[in-house]
Amino acid sequence: MVVICPKCRTKLKISDEKVSPDGSRFRCPRCSSILLVKKPPEKATEINKNLVLVAHSDEAVAEKAANLLRAEGYDVITVRNGIEAMVTALNRLPFIAVIDVALPKIYGFEVCRRLKGRPETADIGIILVPSVYDRTKYKRPPSTLYGADDYIEEHEIEKNLIEKINNMKKGSGAGETHSEEQKSSPLTEKPAAAPTAETPTDEGIERARRFVRTVLSDIFIYNPERVNEAVGSGTFREVFKSQLTEGFKLYQMRIAQEVRDKGDFFNEEIEEFIERKKKELEG
């Protein structure tokens, strides 16, 4: 296996035979750092009925969900982006995946579509964590969300996540009823506080980027054909001008000025989204 030293980034080639089941320590030949190396888990061959994957770009939300699940006796793996979510789901085969729609690298709804489209992962139950900011216009059953089995708003995780997962494990069905509270919008919450010692600017930047990904994921989830047509014709910004304008106003309300001064994250994320969709269409 190849291991990268976290301190100096030197690549070390280590024979699998030299790594014990509990992990072995090796010294980096360049910076002398001590590395604890463990063998990667073997690829699963069937769904693990006690394993839950939580894929969320907000570490605090992921840990909250993970702690709730571990307290119920579930094994939990947390990841922070769409690529990690895909790789982990394919290798570990959890019986449930809780996926944030606004994941970086690969959007959560795209992860859902890909997993449901593969025979080895089609039976993984998927709960999307969406952000529907106009429920009267965009409200749809979870079954239309790229094959997802259910969905849950962030603020409902502590109250309803365990019940939803237990119901899915029992095979009693999911996504059949949703409270009015679940229909509320994270995008209409109070503005974010300015970065402090407890909320460094780097976290503020990631929060800003995630907010834009949330806006874009909402647009795509409920307008996939129009988005593809607009991207293909180079008119995405014109076709969705009203939604992007609304999103930008909310962005200015929710993201502190100090963070916004660090870069044009709103337009950067839009351009990345357009380029990603272009490659998908061309492929």
pLDDT in tens, 212-261: 988 898 888 778 889 999 999 999 999 999 989 988 988 888 888 999 99
Over range 254-280, report the average pLDDT. Answer: 92
Tokens of 6: 């976290």
Tokens of 8: 């100096």
Q: Does 195 have pLDDT greater than 50?
A: no
Report the chain's mean pLDDT, rounded to a whole number: 82
**More reliable by pLDDT, 75 or 182:** 75
**Strand, helix or coil for residue 188:** helix
Task: Tell me how crowded residue 72 is: count the other CB atoms within 10 A of its CB.
Answer: 12
- The H or E element that residue 252 is part of is helix 241-254
Per-residue pLDDT band at 132 (split at 50, 70, 90)? low
Q: Give the whole-number percent of the chain exceeding pLDDT 90.
A: 41
Give the right CATH number for 48-183 from 3.60.20.10, 3.40.50.2300, 3.40.50.300, 3.40.50.1980. Answer: 3.40.50.2300
Which range, of 16-25, 157-166, 209-218, 226-235, averages the lowest pLDDT? 16-25
pLDDT attached to residue 121: 94
pLDDT number for residue 253? 84
pLDDT category, 190, cuts 50, 70, 90? very low
Written as one letter, the residue type at 211 is: F
Categorize the per-residue pLDDT at 141 as very low, low, confident or very high, splitting at 50, 70 and 90: very low
pLDDT in tens, 69-118: 999 999 999 999 999 999 999 999 999 999 998 888 888 888 998 999 99
Residue 137 has pLDDT above 60, yes or no: no
Q: What is the pLDDT of residue 159?
A: 92
> Would you say 195 and 203 are in contact if contact means Cβ atoms under 8 Å apart?
yes
What is the pLDDT confidence band of residue 275, given thresholds at 50, 70 and 90? very high
Question: Cα–Cα distance between 103 and 143 in angstroms, integer?
Answer: 20
Q: Where are the domains of the chain?
A: 2-37, 48-183, 190-282
The answer to whether 243 and 230 have CB atoms below 8 angstroms apart is: no
Q: What is the dihedral of CA 215, 217, 221, 224, to 10 degrees?
A: 100
For residue 79, the model assigns a pLDDT of 95
Q: Let me know if 167 is exposed, middle or buried by CB neighbors in 10 A (0-12, 13-18, 19+).
A: middle
Cα–Cα distance between 7 and 109 in angstroms, integer? 35
pLDDT of 276 strictly over 70:
yes
